[in-house]
Amino acid sequence: MLTIYGKTLSSRLFLGTAQYPSPAILADAARASKPALLTVSLRREMAGGKTGSGFWDVVRELGIDLLPNTAGCHSAKEAITTAQMARELFGTDWIKLEVIGHHDMLQPDVFGLVEAARALSAEGFKVFPYTTTDIGVAERLLEAGCEVLMPWCAPIGSARGPQDVQALKSMRGYFPDVPLVVDAGLGRPSHAMTVLELGYDAVLLNTAVAGADDPVGMARAFALAVEAGRLAFESGMLEPRDMAVPSTPTFGMAEFS
Amino acid sequence: MLTIYGKTLSSRLFLGTAQYPSPAILADAARASKPALLTVSLRREMAGGKTGSGFWDVVRELGIDLLPNTAGCHSAKEAITTAQMARELFGTDWIKLEVIGHHDMLQPDVFGLVEAARALSAEGFKVFPYTTTDIGVAERLLEAGCEVLMPWCAPIGSARGPQDVQALKSMRGYFPDVPLVVDAGLGRPSHAMTVLELGYDAVLLNTAVAGADDPVGMARAFALAVEAGRLAFESGMLEPRDMAVPSTPTFGMAEFS
Amino acid sequence: MLTIYGKTLSSRLFLGTAQYPSPAILADAARASKPALLTVSLRREMAGGKTGSGFWDVVRELGIDLLPNTAGCHSAKEAITTAQMARELFGTDWIKLEVIGHHDMLQPDVFGLVEAARALSAEGFKVFPYTTTDIGVAERLLEAGCEVLMPWCAPIGSARGPQDVQALKSMRGYFPDVPLVVDAGLGRPSHAMTVLELGYDAVLLNTAVAGADDPVGMARAFALAVEAGRLAFESGMLEPRDMAVPSTPTFGMAEFS
Amino acid sequence: MLTIYGKTLSSRLFLGTAQYPSPAILADAARASKPALLTVSLRREMAGGKTGSGFWDVVRELGIDLLPNTAGCHSAKEAITTAQMARELFGTDWIKLEVIGHHDMLQPDVFGLVEAARALSAEGFKVFPYTTTDIGVAERLLEAGCEVLMPWCAPIGSARGPQDVQALKSMRGYFPDVPLVVDAGLGRPSHAMTVLELGYDAVLLNTAVAGADDPVGMARAFALAVEAGRLAFESGMLEPRDMAVPSTPTFGMAEFS
Amino acid sequence: MKLIINGCEAQVSATRLDALIRELDHQDQWVATAVNGKMVPRDRRVAHALKEGDRIEILSPMQGG
Amino acid sequence: MKLIINGCEAQVSATRLDALIRELDHQDQWVATAVNGKMVPRDRRVAHALKEGDRIEILSPMQGG
Amino acid sequence: MKLIINGCEAQVSATRLDALIRELDHQDQWVATAVNGKMVPRDRRVAHALKEGDRIEILSPMQGG
Amino acid sequence: MKLIINGCEAQVSATRLDALIRELDHQDQWVATAVNGKMVPRDRRVAHALKEGDRIEILSPMQGG
């Protein structure tokens, strides 16, 4: 089982709550995939507490642990204040820390990220940093107090899947004991499975499920992929070979000539 | 459900029976993955019907439909005689037709393959041809009477996974209504999942399971991967995009400056 | 130097003559890249010998050896008659043999190809077969009398570059002494260079040059790429490594602490 | 022509001077490839000015501009002092700034890198920072005063070539007017050509040349590859297509049936 | 008194943050609040006096990825 | 006599292939010819008598890849 | 009589294929047989006379991929 | 006086950096120098007095990538 910040998680799938056709479909997708965590955010309240309250009622009914995020924050200061407000609003000190460098790539700003991670860890937050595969940045996040790392494998929402498998392998090899969660860039269940096979501990998804033709079916497919990927990792896969090797024994072949 | 030669199959996984540490582990792997078919072969009987009879008792007890192969045959003539003997021995007219061109690649010999497929179809066999992604060869196999095609995606036992995804896509696109089973070259459950996501109907595995550190766990992982891959295909996956796209809505962001 | 059918070629680039903005640009592209061979075809003569005669005058003036093709032929019979007419018209017994299986992929029909190669070789043609990386097909083409093989690396005009590097490596390794020319699928000079680095002897290009914004500059770029790729192959390249290795010596580092 | 820090460079190839079989072979490789810059370092002087003086005499005779590096420095402080000493010793204010995070990956430490780039730019150095494809880091390096960026494309000495082409494309697209030089990770001339085709301005090489069986031939191959890659970029390459497209016109095909 | 609430100018009668939340008909337990870029926890709203031109942020739960 | 020349019906007066080439104003040395799916070499055109309905192919050099 | 059974020379007394299977102590229903490269079905073994030097293949179920 | 030169203890007679360079038989123009982690430019060596235990770095050109 995967344990982060002393808490044992019920699965290796974290699911985002945005962009679903309806709150009901979000709820069905969550029931179909049983994620360990649901990510949520906070936004300006409009018109008397009615904004997205249908959404909020649905999420509370699901009874799944929440991981608030600081999505859209472009500075450490914004992210810190947003995290403080999220802690009160959602009643949890877990926070998915996003500090975004610039718009078109939604790439983590690693300087703002480390600064915010230090400040929030000092305030007792359990920080889940959205980061890159940069190992030097990862070391500073761990020094700052993070007990989990969430590298991207491709730009957010790009659905491209792992773009640099060597970099993912290096990060896994360099931090054998740190929970590593691939956050962002996954488009297909086979992408999620691939990173689990590499030994990553979990994945965080949103667009790939919410944007599918059938989000509920896709949520289930990802849940199975994550389970199978971990099982494959634990079962010891074959290494690729250059030459072909027969499966059926060649000993004892008949001769009909 | 997948239907081939008028028979509806119970799963999209076909499992080979060779190279397991023991017949007992083969049996456990089959129980853990519930394949629709088990592939078997025939070889020279040694010393009074004792050869591999432990194996044979185990396979019969499993009660799973058998798909005999002509593995190791290097000519149409050998393959035809082997198929005839397999039909009597295993009591089925289903045959996985392998005609191998040369040793080091275990590549199908497409000329011998088409010749043998014609002859065996004429004798009433239900031929499952082990072939390449060559579309012209595939057309001749269909003309010969085959109702399923089993292209490789990499050399047998190489465990490399899909080497030419474009060729697999082209074959799927060109034969939208023919059952296509990827046979040979799969090393990881994510490889199997990838071809199911491309719309392939099933996979045939052996080395990737039998050669795993834990064949039973790996068999289960492949079974889940195949199920999830089909579900993903049916649920309509996102297309990859070049630019990053935010999942969390940016509308209503707070301003703390 | 590369020798095919006893003739030593002046370069490792073969250039197609179709699809250029004008005959003059074709001529400039040929002068800029100095190909060993120019491919040409034959078509129905319209209106009194005027069809494409501007083209034909230009090609003759270039004084480069011609390699007529049988492009567009869908049967051995068509290809054989076309080759016979090409031999008379162009005064050469060299023929690029194309027998195309079906329209949308322009994939070689390996059955028609081998049949036509046998017939034409028997008539004294020097056959340059456009084929796939199928090694069994290649063996039959060599048996038929071919002394060169021209595998595709991707569909004609797709500009995708090598789609299955392992298959190209296997073919090169299996036929160490047969001239191998990659024909079709190259889009960028780096694609051509990659196959030369793998030990392929030459490339045949058309669309990638004729369809470039500046065909003359692109022709030159391909000529340099082919020269550099061969030089790299002969100079013995590094193998990729998993770990990083410093280039600057670490011995004798200063200490400023 | 490529201009960096107001100086127009004679080529798009920068060559390292380490790891050659002999100073004479280094000299021949440099003469064969005509690099715009040679990278050098400084180390503890042993035994009366004799250390590597054969090397130093050879490098001076070549008369090629030098780019000293701070290879092996693990902190901004070390890198700054090394740069100051290099400026005096080599008589140039150009410096290839390396601040390495940890040994086994030789990955840039982006925090130390930006700190050192700020300090050195303030002292009037012309900094060539060895960095990653992280766009936020790149923006800080430009703010610090850098007028060129040198991202890796794979770990130093790995010879793997571009590992994340999307990331390289994003960086090029995000900084259209900044000279971008790929430093580290290139193994084959086709790798260098690929990044030039993507619009990168130059490459810096060492191991791929010095470690080749024939460093002189390989140096020449890289020089041609860089020239051809730039020419291809400027000549407007075809985009890859999914479907096959004929090069030879199909209009006017004969009918022999 | 005139305030800037979630980026929009508004004329309100409330003089303390807790009163403002009520005046705007928000559910006290489902909003988080910040004044002039600093968070004001729920239990401090009652004590938090508002000044002309204060920039108020009132945030509530929303979908997130 | 009516022939099918390069896929199109045509009424011609020539009775032999070499005459047909001249009648169609083709350059003898820059065309290759086939009748009813079989090649007719240049030096045999003079001897090749045409029959009503013959399918004639007259091909010339063209761009190729 | 001397036969080549599964590639090895053997001296046997059986003169028909069904007898040979018994003589070799094989389980009749779990072997398939071929003589001189041609399959001999189970029900024809009794009628199949063996000749000096016949090449006999006796095959049984085996692992396969 | 005892110094640490390029990481090794050494007993020297020179009391200034320029003299040390000469005493060690280095070519003045092809070395760069640092004392206790700070660079000492060539033109300041003459004025730079050495102290017992100073850590001296004397660097020269070397291959680099």
Digit-coded pLDDT (tens) for G23-61: 999 988 899 999 999 999 999 999 999 999 999 999 999
% chain A with pLDDT above 90: 82
Q: What mean pLDDT comes out for the span E7-13?
A: 93
Partners of D227 on chain C (C-beta within 8 Å) are 224
Interface of H with C in 12-31 (CB under 8 A): none
What the block records as the tokens of B112 is: 């011998």
Which residues of chain F fall below pLDDT 50?
none
What pLDDT does B252 receive?
82
Residue of E nearest to A37 (CA): E65
Residue A237 Cα, gap to closest chain G Cα (Å): 18
Pairing of strands E55-63, A37-44: antiparallel
What pLDDT does A105 receive?
74
Q: Is the pLDDT confidence value at H28 over 70?
A: yes
Partners of D225 on chain C (C-beta within 8 Å) are 193, 224-225, 228, 232
Q: What does A35-75 look like in DSSP terms, one character per residue? A: -SEEEEEEEE--TTTTTTHHHHHHHHHHTPPEEEB-TT--S
Confidence class for position A103, pLDDT limits 50, 70, 90? low
Residue of D nearest to H22 (CA): D48
What pLDDT does A49 receive?
47
**Does D254 contact F59 at a Cβ distance shorter than 8 Å?**
yes
Partners of D111 on chain A (C-beta within 8 Å) are 111, 114, 136-137, 140
Confidence class for position B224, pLDDT limits 50, 70, 90? very high
What pLDDT does B45 receive?
76
Find which of D204, D248, D251, D256 to mutate to test the C interface (most C CBs within 10 Å of its CB): D248
Indicate the burial class of B46 (C-beta count within 10 angstroms; 0-12, 13-18, 19 or more).
Answer: middle
Confidence class for position D140, pLDDT limits 50, 70, 90? very high
What pLDDT does B183 receive?
94
DSSP 3-state percent helix, strand, coil across chain F (nearest 5)? 20, 40, 40
For residue A18, give the nearest of E33, E34, E64 by CB distance: E64
- pLDDT for C129-162, tens place per residue? 999 999 999 999 999 999 999 999 998 888 999 9
- pLDDT for C8-47, tens place per residue? 999 999 999 999 999 999 999 999 999 999 999 999 876 5
**Does A17 contact E37 at a Cβ distance shorter than 8 Å?**
no
For residue D256, give the nearest of F37, F62, F64 by CB distance: F37
Q: What mean pLDDT comes out for the span A121-144?
A: 97
Distance (Å, whole) CA D237 – CA C187: 7
What pLDDT does A254 receive?
85
Find which of B13, B22, B44, B106 to mutate to test the G interface (most G CBs within 10 Å of its CB): B44
Under a CB-based contact definition with an 8 Å cutoff, are residues H46 and H22 in contact? no
**Does F34 contact D252 at a Cβ distance shorter than 8 Å?**
no
For residue A248, give the nearest of G7, G59, G65 by CB distance: G65
**How many of the other CB atoms lie within 10 Å of CB of C65?**
16
Residue A123 Cα, gap to closest chain E Cα (Å): 14
**Does A170 contact D155 at a Cβ distance shorter than 8 Å?**
yes
Distance (Å, whole) CA C19 – CA H21: 71
For residue C18, give the nearest of D193, D206, D249 by CB distance: D249
Q: Is the pLDDT confidence value at B4 over 50?
A: yes
What pLDDT does D247 receive?
79
Pairing of strands H32-35, H38-40: antiparallel
Residue C64 Cα, gap to closest chain B Cα (Å): 35
Work out the mean pLDDT of chain B and round it to a whole number.
93
Residue D238 per-residue DSSP state:
P
Least confidently predicted of B30-44, C210-224, D38-52: D38-52
- With CA atoms as reference, report the closest residue to C44 among F40, F62, F42: F62
Is chain F touching chain G, with at least 3 CB–CB pairs below 8 Å? no
Confidence class for position B248, pLDDT limits 50, 70, 90? confident
Partners of B156 on chain A (C-beta within 8 Å) are 244-247
What is the number of alpha carbons within 13 Å of residue C113 lying toward its C-beta? 36
Distance (Å, whole) CA A222 – CA B193: 11
What pLDDT does B257 receive?
72
**How many of the other CB atoms lie within 10 Å of CB of C13?**
26
Partners of D159 on chain C (C-beta within 8 Å) are 237-241
Partners of A217 on chain B (C-beta within 8 Å) are 231-232, 234-235
Can you give the pTM of this predicted structure? Answer: 0.93
Residue type, D52: G
- Catalytic residue list contains A77: no
**How many of the other CB atoms lie within 10 Å of CB of D68?**
27
Partners of C215 on chain D (C-beta within 8 Å) are 235
Measured CB to CB, residues of chain B less than 8 Å from chain E are 246-249, 252, 254-257
**Does B247 contact E37 at a Cβ distance shorter than 8 Å?**
no
What the block records as the tokens of C66 is: 């011609």
**Angstrom distances, CA of residue F41 to CA of C127, F34, F47:** 20, 8, 10
| Three-state secondary structure call for residue H54 | coil
Q: What mean pLDDT comes out for the span B17-36?
A: 97
Distance (Å, whole) CA A129 – CA D168: 24
Residue type, A15: L
**Does C247 contact H65 at a Cβ distance shorter than 8 Å?**
yes
**Does D110 contact A107 at a Cβ distance shorter than 8 Å?**
no
Residue G5 Cα, gap to closest chain B Cα (Å): 9
Residue type, G50: L
Confidence class for position B49, pLDDT limits 50, 70, 90? very low
For residue H62, give the nearest of D26, D40, D77 by CB distance: D40
Q: Is the pLDDT confidence value at C248 over 90?
A: no
Least confidently predicted of C89-98, D52-61, D188-197, G41-50: D52-61
Residue of G nearest to B205 (CA): G65
What pLDDT does D103 receive?
65
Confidence class for position B102, pLDDT limits 50, 70, 90? confident
**Does H57 contact C254 at a Cβ distance shorter than 8 Å?**
yes
Residue B106 Cα, gap to closest chain C Cα (Å): 10
What H or E segment, with its residue span, contains residue F45? Answer: none
Q: What mean pLDDT comes out for the span C110-118?
A: 98
As annotated, the active-site residues of C are 96
For residue G62, give the nearest of A249, A256, A257 by CB distance: A249
- The ipTM value here is 0.92
Which chains neighbour G (Cβ–Cβ under 8 Å, 3 or more pairs)?
A, B
